[in-house]
Structures are given as C-alpha cells and as structure tokens.
Amino acid sequence: MSGARLEATRLHLRHAQADRDAVRDVTLAVAPGEIVALVGPNGSGKSTLLAGLAREIAPRAGRVCFDGTPLERWPRRRLARRVARLPQDPAVPEGLTVAGLVANGRHPHVAPLAAFSTRDHAAVREALAAMELGDLRTRPLETLSGGERRRAWIAMVLAQEPELLLLDEPTAALDLRHQWEVLEFLARANRERGLTIVVSLHDLEQAAGLAHRLAILHRGRLYAAGAPERCLGEEMLRDVFAVDARVGKDDGRLTLRVRGPGDPLRSL
C-alpha cells in the first residue's frame, strides 16, 4: 500500500524455544488514520502479530516498516514517541499508584533526569479523565479490580500520545459499559486526532462496529482482510470459527446470529 503508516511484508514470527512459526507469511498494510481489527480464534496468531508489529519479536523472515522505514532502523526512544503497544496481560508493578503508572507513558518524551513539563502533566490528567480514573489516581494498582487495572493501563498508553496504537484485547476484563466506552474513545481518538490503531478483539460485532477493516487470522495465516461487510460472511465463520451462523444488519450495524441455541460467538 503506497503511503502505508505500518506495513508487514511476508512476515514470519516464531516465539523463543518454539519449533514452528506462530505467524506465517502475513502481508498487511495499515494506512495513516485507519483502524484495523485483528480477529480470529484463540491461537490464531493475533497477539504474536501485534508483538511483531511492535518490534518485540524479531521476524524470522519478512519485515515490518513504520512510515517506510524498517523497524530495526528506528532508534527505540524515537519509535516509542510515535508507537505505543499494550499487551493483553501486562505485569502489575507492586506499590505503583494509578497516577504513577499513567505517568510512565510520558517517559519517551522526557529526557533522563528531567522534570515533567506542563504538557506532560496535562497529558497524564487527560488520560486519567478519559478512562474515568481521577478518583483512583492515588490507589495502588494491586488494590484495583481487574477492569480498573485494565483502564489504568489503557490510560498509560493514551498518555504516551502516540501516532500508532497497538492494542491486544483492550476490552478484556471490562464490564459491558466500559467495553463500549473504551471502543467509543478509540473511535473518537481516531476521528479527532487521526490516531492509527491496530487492535485485536474477540467480539466480532464490536470489531465490525469499530474498524475500517478487519484482518482475519487463521492458524497463523491471514485468511482475509477488508471491510467488515465484505469479510464477515457465513463461509468465513464456518472455515475460521467452526460456527454455523447468519450475518445480518440491525440499524446499519453488522450482527451475527448462531443457528441453534446459545451464542458461541460471544466466547470466540
């Protein structure tokens, strides 16, 4: 894709000590200002691909470029000012408060031993407010619920003020209200700031509602990529998710209905 903000070309990724690739021959380009949702069953390679896009796993083959430059040629600090990644299960530092964690997002912008600027403090306040964490700012992370901790981590990467945001299951452990608030915030940040976002999501309806394009992974390979209405089809649901379902629309939003009792799609 000409002018792609992020581009993976024939990417193969393998975890240390593994005997086979978790991501195989994936080519994917993300345009500036685009939201791309990675979807697929557990073990399909979503988290591994995000780690590779963030330079946390070196490619066994292929390459990843950001703004036309291979990731390995970017100085780490300079790249961290422009690209932020939130893994699915970040470790919780003992004794760190919510405000302290969120302030960590400013480190790429602050010189060693330098004090925070007015802009740094403002970015922390704005991120805390966006995730409704103002009343919890002095609480140690270990005293929070899983959902509250998740919101604190999201606030940290928002405080980083990146141009590209890589998020691995950002709605995990959140109740339904906070899931939709996080998704709405991401959509608003994309509209108003031009933030480019690559996000993995389990809920296919949420992914279709948020993203401009879906990238569907199956057994480490890219099964399809494109607009949600083109990618979310009954054949794909059978091939990738082993689910017999019907795809419809409700007030312009794509809906998925499993044929028969229950709704297994919610657990995918």
Over its length of 268 residues, how does the chain's per-residue pLDDT go in tens digits? 446 799 999 999 999 989 999 999 999 999 999 999 999 999 999 999 999 999 999 999 999 999 999 999 999 999 999 999 999 888 877 889 999 999 999 999 998 889 999 999 999 999 999 888 999 999 999 999 888 988 899 999 999 999 999 999 999 888 888 898 889 989 998 998 899 999 999 999 999 999 999 999 999 999 999 999 999 999 999 999 998 888 888 877 888 887 655 555 444 4
Could you tell me the pTM of the whole model?
0.89
**Do 216 and 232 meet the contact criterion of CB atoms below 8 Å apart?**
no
Instruction: Tell me whether residue 1 is in a domain.
Output: no
Tell me whether residue 62 is in a domain. yes
Query: Residue 139 corresponds to which amino acid?
Result: R
Phi, psi of 169 (to 5 degrees): 50, 60
**Cβ count within 10 A of residue 86:** 21
Q: What is the pLDDT of residue 267?
A: 40
| Six token digits for residue 11 | 């990417």
Residue 41 in domain: yes
Note the Cα 158 to chain centre separation in Å: 12
Dist CA 33 CA 36 (whole Å): 10
Q: Is residue 37 situated within a structural domain?
A: yes
Q: What is the pLDDT of residue 259?
A: 67
* Position 114 in a domain: yes
Phi, psi at residue 95, to the nearest 5°? 85, -10
Task: Tell me whether residue 14 is in a domain.
Answer: yes
Identify which of 162, 154, 193 has the alpha carbon closest to the alpha carbon of residue 78.
162
Count of domains for the chain = 1
Cβ-proximal residues to 132 (8 Å cutoff; 6+ apart), any chain: 151, 181
- Examine residue 74 and state whether it is found in any structural domain, yes or no: yes
What was the pLDDT predicted at 257?
82
- Give pLDDT, residue 263: 53
Tell me what pLDDT residue 268 has: 44
Residues in the chain: 268
Q: What is the CATH number of the domain that holds 196?
A: 3.40.50.300
Give CA–CA dist 57/14, Å, rounded: 8
Residue with tokens 């690739």: 21
Rounded-to-integer distance, Cα 163 and Cα 196, Å? 6
Q: Which helix (H) or strand (E) holds 38?
A: strand 35-39
Does residue 114 sit in helix, strand or coil?
coil
Which residues span the domain enclosing 212? 6-267
Instruction: Determine which helix (DSSP H) or strand (DSSP E) holds 156, and give its type and residue range.
Output: helix 146-159
Q: How far apart are the first and last CA of the chain?
A: 30
Give pLDDT, residue 1: 47
